[in-house]
Structure 1
């Protein structure tokens, strides 16, 4: 197909990932960001690329699995194209099990993972050993999975920006939608714009908070306890997050950030005394479907949407970007129905369950 001109509005993870995927296909790409790269929710701290539990398989879990398994090669290509390291590592994850009921459920998921993950990763129940980088487990057992990865959000955005520029793409603060095609990747403000355009609430912003500690555990697995991610990054820091707040008094960090610090030190005592480097807060875009929203803007020819990353934006970005670039540049529409803007508009139906294996999606 002949080269096309595409304007991407928004330099968060969905915007820059889509711009990169488009540029790889020969599109002439410019990114417009009115504030700064990663000025919204993508400029956070956590960077947990973690799967949902391997059960009740649906389109969301299947596409997420595909994205997580392609992530290492995808980010390696970005790194080498622009020279900036996104600090990606598939380090795995540990989760404590609270009691015998949780242990029984975890063993059932262990069996499901062997079928659904098809050897690409493992979900195992293992005994706790009391090692320093291990969460306290009331049952004496942990879940260990090898699919979870981490990435530095800010380094990832810088890596994408450099790769895009190396391919001839531009990033600036000024410009208009035209000429050519337009991708709207404008976070929770974009969901508000969609809602206003169609006269119905299609999503909203959800505040999230995180903190950054100085502690060098850069090769260690992630720790997950209910509502708490502890992620060791490749620069000698540890990120802790995150909250989910539908209402808030201030968009900046508040007392809940201090609660994150306290909880992290309870779950992982080795963090006691670690210096707090940063407290962060941002507004994340959550679509009514709670899934990413990618595809053509209904009734607006030449316009496309990349939004709704919420808690899975960095994990889902590689596959979402490639699918959207396939549609825009090559005319191949392989986007599952659950993620299309038209589906969100029709009622934001939850992803349907189905029996297909990941390779069929």
Structure 2
């Protein structure tokens, strides 16, 4: 039986392992730390669609992925008995300037055309904010957009569910504390920090930011790095908020109601930083902004402050599929802010390619070969 080795135990790697196991491959997942210890183990879990205007294949791919994710999660919840904290709660975007309202009104018809399936239709409504509402009228002087497509998931709950699903496959093995230090895809071999050497038929590199280090070492010549890290900070609060309320999104600020009286607030996007895993006054400023749009959070105790590094490919799109120079090496990284909504679909595309049934649905700009050509 063909063996697939997956490097990385975040949301991308776990979905790749699930898809490989379903395809019947002997599957081994290696995670240098603990499952979900990277950017995937954060707090937000917002599943946000692209704007419905200027429709293209990338937006269609994301829409289809957000549609299929709901069923994927429902099936895994039934199989494992665990909850991923998923809810299609929608999204509210306050409109602070008159021209933003005009733009939003123009997008209503775009959503009516593009945000639909044969059985479901999602909406983009422009309406007035309610006094004392979510958010209050004074925080949205020109109204709000309310879309019914956005959803959320509890990141750590989703990871735990995926990990439990893998335990149900006898041909899957997961190893934590297995740090990869070198790759030799031409020989089908890699080396671990503990001195072991492992062989593979196919390798899926889904190690987040660390993936770019390996890609750069294997890609010559090139004129630029394949990607880098963007730091994000977020916090989890305890508040008496209805978990069915929509996500509030305004100029980089996310307020995400979760179950059990928890609300996530985030996140910064920092390209320059000295302390990648510590929080600072930038998170304090974000929390202060959040109370403007959600006064119910005033005085809410902070349960956890979190910081982590998210992988962003140089071309900004996810980097997916076979490396053009190494037929055994497949890449699955660069999700940045859209990873949780796309991970299952991107992982399926990679495993389909390994199995010899490549999907034509993957946008060309997502393909690893496209990224590598741009780097050169």
For normalisation by structure 2, the TM-score amounts to 0.88
Structure-2 residue corresponding to 1:46? 44
Q: Which has the higher contact order (CA 8 A, sep 6+)?
A: 1
SS at match of 1:90: coil
1:242 is aligned to 2:263: no
Which one of 204, 208, 218 corresponds to residue 183 of structure 1?
204
Contact 1:7 1:177 in 2 (8 A): no
- Bigger drift between 166-175 and 269-278 goes to 166-175
Structure-2 residue corresponding to 1:356? none
Which one of 95, 98, 103 corresponds to residue 100 of structure 1?
98
Contact 1:96 1:135 in 2 (8 A): no
Structure-2 residue corresponding to 1:145? 147
Which one of 336, 346, 358 corresponds to residue 320 of structure 1?
346
Per-residue displacement from partner, 1:300-324 (whole Å, max 9, x unpaired)? 1211000001011101112112222
Contact 1:217 1:237 in 2 (8 A): no
Per-residue displacement from partner, 1:38-76 (whole Å, max 9, x unpaired)? 111111000000011111222321211111111110111
Instruction: State the Cα RMSD in Å.
Output: 1.7
Query: Greater CA radius of gyration, 1 or 2?
Result: 2
SS at match of 2:167: helix
Contact 1:22 1:329 in 2 (8 A): no
- Bigger drift between 143-152 and 122-131 goes to 122-131
Which one of 217, 230, 249 corresponds to residue 242 of structure 2?
217
Structure 2 residue ranges without an equivalent (≥5): 179-191
Structure-2 residue corresponding to 1:202? 226
1:27 CA displacement: 1.7
Contact 1:211 1:260 in 2 (8 A): no
Structure-1 residue corresponding to 2:111? 113
Structure-2 residue corresponding to 1:286? 312
1:63-78 correspondence to structure 2 within 5 Å? 63-78=61-76
Q: Equivalents in 1 of 2:129, 2:140: separation in Å?
A: 10
Contact 1:135 1:223 in 2 (8 A): no
Q: Equivalents in 2 of 1:86, 1:338: separation in Å?
A: 30
Structure-2 residue corresponding to 1:296? 322
SS at match of 1:311: coil
SS at match of 1:114: helix
Q: Equivalents in 2 of 1:343, 1:179: separation in Å?
A: 25
Q: Equivalents in 2 of 1:177, 1:154: separation in Å?
A: 29
SS at match of 2:326: coil
1:172 is aligned to 2:197: no
Q: Equivalents in 2 of 1:49, 1:117: separation in Å?
A: 15
Structure-2 residue corresponding to 1:336? 363
Residues 265 and 30 of structure 1: CA distance in aligned 2, closer, same or farther (over 3 Å)? same
Residues 186 and 135 of structure 1: CA distance in aligned 2, closer, same or farther (over 3 Å)? farther
Contact 1:59 1:338 in 2 (8 A): no
Structure 1 residue ranges without an equivalent (≥5): 350-361
1:271 CA displacement: 0.7
Contact 2:255 2:264 in 1 (8 A): yes
- Bigger drift between 236-245 and 176-185 goes to 176-185
- Bigger drift between 150-159 and 57-66 goes to 57-66
Q: Equivalents in 2 of 1:177, 1:125: separation in Å?
A: 56
Structure-2 residue corresponding to 1:134? 135
Q: Equivalents in 2 of 1:223, 1:238: separation in Å?
A: 11
Give the length in aligned residue pairs: 347
Contact 2:237 2:304 in 1 (8 A): yes
Residues 120 and 138 of structure 1: CA distance in aligned 2, closer, same or farther (over 3 Å)? closer
1:177 CA displacement: 4.9
